[in-house]
A and B are shown apart, each in its own frame.
Chain A
């Protein structure tokens, strides 16, 4: 399935950027005479190693700066509620309340909420990726009148804050009998413009010559989409899936407005149920937040493997 794409890609000219392909010279480091090649490589390796060290150092500092609030979240999840929001901040709990992590499952139906969130996030992500990448092909690789105006309408709606049209939308959904169900949220969020826009921009970076060559080979447009474009856009698909998943998973307002029955609630709603009229149980909220981050981490670690430089050209034989 992917071979086709890679072969085609290999044939694609790279002269676009005005750089000569320099076929012969490019192979030198691998196949040149042994002596000079090795010397070159060792200096290069040393240089690479120092760069790596520097990068590690920079990253380590960054990580600390980025994780501080998360550390506070974890620390708070291990405190009694009236110890969370103290002045000054207490970073290490005076007494570790591990029971928060067992209590939360009985205080609220956490398992059910997790299942609901997962269900919504998976379905919405799948639909968004599928319809988004299809539509993006139409917007980037097929030319037809009215295309650009339609595309601008797509982008335009992203600019309208949801707060502005949520009530008209709700009334419409109510008339369709769709409120208080997962279907309402799926229909609302799966067909957003975000995925179309993201995928279209990525497809623009794929040379049209590839599609052209495939057409000459007799592939239909759908075939080109499925067998040439999709395999080449794995990094974009991964980032779209990841971001859609995270946004759906962390969404609060959408589920709040559309899901009334407690049995349909998502994790984010469940956690907010610890907020009362006059005060809130922040220890429990932080415990739940830590738990709800775990699925995102799994998805991220799976998805980020597609972000490795050179994957797009790994099949290069030239």
Chain B
């Protein structure tokens, strides 16, 4: 994937090459091993076990029973699954680009030497560490259809039919997305801040000398240099959007009706809530495949760009 990466030592003859490759493998693994052992034992194996369960019926009390594709058939026939899938995708489509853009914007804004910059950075991180209950109560109050400040503002600029936000099926999801973008942007800003540190000042200075405008510098220096960070942010955002759980549970608990019910809620309710672990594993396998497809696509795009 990193076409730039040179082999550690200049390749000699082909026999030397093979020896080199073996040495590299060994070195690579010694770096990876400490993390990999823990990862294998405590994450990968349980995940694979869960995937195996998706072909079984298991209540967690008795031995699992092989049922083939029955769980998947039930899933595809279930109305609620499709509703939750649609909601999850809608959430991701709103949450990912908005959070990414705002996080980058904030990081650029805060990536400078200013008096009290530490305070401002902390302030932007605050939503992420504010108790979820407080977030839900206050945002729901802001969104309140009749008396909330948001709708009062909308009324004042002449919008007569202001949305019902969290008490309406159509507008609950946008309300949740707005709240979650507000909450998460500080988190991803931290990642972008770190990424910005890796861009050498010299690149900007050189661009400035070449007469590039601020916008051109942003477009030709910042964006390309941030590509690995952006890849990370996009993947993490996609993954976390598809797994969104806490905020929705506290803010709308999937309602009104099923309008904000998402897949991980379904996985939780069906699995540990009702003891249908096979079925809930089947849903998570599907969720995994969707996210994996998106990630591999992004991975390929990133690779092509780097060439």
Contact = CB atoms under 8 A, between A and B. Distances in A.
Given A166-B46, A289-B134, 17 more contacts: A14-B200, A17-B220, A19-B210, A21-B206, A22-B206, A65-B182, A72-B134, A89-B138, A142-B8, A142-B24, A144-B29, A164-B267, A165-B47, A165-B49, A172-B46, A190-B38, A306-B194
Contact of B206 (A26, A167, A193): A26
Nearest to B233: A201
Contacts of A101: none
B228 A205 contact: yes
A198 interface: yes
B49 A201 contact: no
B28 A144 contact: yes
Instruction: Identify which of A20, A72, A242 gathers the most chain B CB atoms within 10 Å of its CB.
Output: A72
A88 interface: yes
17 contacts: A17-B220, A17-B221, A19-B206, A55-B109, A55-B114, A70-B134, A142-B8, A147-B28, A158-B239, A168-B49, A194-B236, A205-B199, A211-B8, A215-B8, A236-B194, A289-B130, A308-B113
Interface of chain A, main secondary structure: helix
Given A138-B32, A142-B24, A143-B7, A191 B182 contact: no
Interface string A6-40: 00000000100101111001100000000000000
A161 interface: yes
The 10 closest A-B pairs by CB, nearest first: A191-B38, A138-B31, A164-B284, A159-B291, A235-B197, A131-B35, A169-B46, A165-B50, A144-B25, A289-B131
B193 A235 contact: yes
Contacts of B206: 14, 19-22, 26
A45 to B, nearest CB: 14
Contacts of A135: 31-32, 34-36
Contacts of B288: 156, 159-160
A194 B35 CA distance: 11
A182 interface: no
A152 B242 CA distance: 17
Contacts of A296: 129
Contacts, number: 334
A265 interface: no
Contacts of A1: none
B53 interface: yes
A213 to B, nearest CB: 11
Interface stretch (A92-100, A103-111, A115-123, A310-318): A310-318
Interface in A124-150: 130-132, 134-135, 137-145, 147-148, 150
Contacts of B130: 69-70, 73, 289, 293
Contacts of B12: none
Contacts of B263: 161
Interface of B: 1-2, 4-9, 21, 24-25, 27-32, 34-39, 41-47, 49-50, 53, 60, 109-114, 118, 120-131, 133-135, 137-139, 141-142, 147, 182, 186-187, 190-191, 193-203, 205-207, 209-210, 220-221, 224-225, 228-229, 231-232, 235-236, 239, 242-243, 245, 263-264, 267-268, 271-272, 277, 280-281, 283-284, 287-288, 291-292, 295-296, 299
A130 B201 CA distance: 28
B287 A161 contact: yes
Contact of B24 (A144, A165, A190, A304): A144
A142 B123 contact: no
Interface in A50-73: 52, 55-56, 58-59, 62-63, 65-70, 72-73
A209 B281 CA distance: 45
A144 B186 CA distance: 36
B197 A306 contact: yes
Interface string A285-312: 1100100010011001100111111111
B296 A152 contact: yes
A163 B200 contact: no
A25 B148 CA distance: 57
A193 B24 contact: no
A85 B141 CA distance: 11
Contact of B32 (A139, A152, A164, A204): A139
Contacts of A67: 123, 126
Given A62-B124, A165-B50, A134 B34 contact: yes
